[in-house]
Amino acid sequence: MRPIRLGLFAALIVALLAPATAMAAAAPAKPAVPVVKDAERKVGMADTPALVAAANLHCQVSDARLAGKSSPDKKTGSLGASVYEVACGPGAVGYLLQTNGTAAPTVYSCLIANYPPDMKPPSSPCILPANIDLRPAIAALAAKAKVPCVPQGIRGVGQTASNTVIELSCPGGAGYLLMASAPLDMNKDATALNCLAYDAANANIKCALSEPAARLALADKFATMASPGCAVKDRRYIGLLTDGTEGYEFACADGKGFIAKVDAKGAIAANLDCTKLNGGGCTLTDTRAATAEQAGLYSRLAKSSGSDCVVSKYAVFPAKGTNEVVELVCGDGKGAIGMFPPTGKGKVLDCGHALVAGYRCSLGAADYSGLTADLKKFNLIACNVSSVGQPLKAADGSIRLEVACADGLPGYMIQYTDPQTAKEAVGCRFAGGCVLPTNKTTAPAKG
């Protein structure tokens, strides 16, 4: 996006030595109130209603002036031009209109004219009384776009065929870019984007009302809210996430890290531990060291739960109630599912019994020796479980789990009252519903 260019526009007015503009340009430390001549206002009020209509502006002209006019020049081929300023009533932002009398006028917002991109004193400002202080109107537009502050600083970044871009700074240093309509219409919606998104991007739009480092440091309050024990070593703005929250990554002095998801009200929507993000996402944290430490923690939790699993790898499932549910890979390569409450003893299920609990192992080797042991409780000692089917829920709430035997003979349907308690085992020849290849048999005829 190119910033709007008012150079030609300004040159026209300066060349015409418009008294009010010259006065504004030569203003002392405490500028005098610009004076609009009656003759300029009379011409402006007569000419601008038609120009506003030709430009399709949503503007009920409340005040206007002729800001400057140049005559045709045969040597240069110039048709001559006129520049007008219009005010559009309370709560609106006025315009500068440039016309050569043969085409629809070119429209410039007084916002861009009065708060120029270079932040220097404007060379050709709007000076009608209604157009001098535009802060209340921009504050109203910012509130509509859900900017979480009353703007302290304003800068007109630029204008394209469809957007007017406005930078706003908040007390404390936060900043936003407001994407509004072009020509700027206060009745249309606008979208606010965090300046942090542009600080990190290699884009031609940058926020300039405050320093990027100062803006990013403000995010440390989110780190304190999400993880009070974190002494922030580094931070990164991730951007707008698909659920509408904004993501911030923080690295802590103790080597740990997390991603804080912040909602539109500035509250923490989620705190994601970098060691538990299966797809990565953290770039500031040494996740290998942190992951090794977390694996050690899960080994200790497994041991306290009665398991001898020394965890070498893990993946976190969505929490089940207050329990943390983790898939574990033990040192011997076998998989397991750990279910650990915030306090007290948890439990570790082998991959067979984990199916009864509703979890399937995918990282480690499936160990069905626990299911084989369950069959032996019912004196079914000839079957070593080699594979399992999908768990089936019975009408009484119990779970039926089909198992196949390594010898290729028909297997069994084991019924569980809970993931670790087998109630009975029935051969697939009699149970019905078995679907594993070696278990498909024709039930004996009745009678």
**For residues 203 and 239, which has the higher predicted lDDT (pLDDT)?**
239
Least confident of 95-104, 129-138, 435-444: 435-444
Least confident of 19-23, 88-92, 125-129, 360-364: 19-23
pTM of the model: 0.59
Binning pLDDT at 50, 70 and 90, where does residue 272 land?
A: confident
Residue 13 has pLDDT above 50, yes or no: no
- The pLDDT of 170-177, averaged and rounded, is 89
Mean pLDDT of the chain: 84
Across 18-22, 249-253, 411-415, the highest mean pLDDT is recorded for 411-415
Residue 180 has pLDDT above 90, yes or no: yes
DSSP letters for 261-280? EE-TTS-EEEEEEGGG-TT-
Q: What angle do CA 236, 239, 244 make, to 5 degrees?
A: 135
Q: In percent, how much of the chain has pLDDT > 70?
A: 85
Binning pLDDT at 50, 70 and 90, where does residue 75 land?
A: low
The sign one gets for the Cα dihedral 288, 270, 359, 349 is positive
Burial class (CB in 10 A: 0-12, 13-18, 19+), 220: middle
pLDDT at 447: 43
Q: In percent, how much of the chain has pLDDT > 90?
A: 52
Q: Which residues pair with 193 in a beta bridge?
A: 177
Residue 11 has pLDDT above 50, yes or no: no
Asked whether 420 and 401 are in contact (CB, 8 A), the reply is: no
Dihedral class, residue 266 (left if φ above 0, else alpha if ψ from -120 to 50, else beta): left
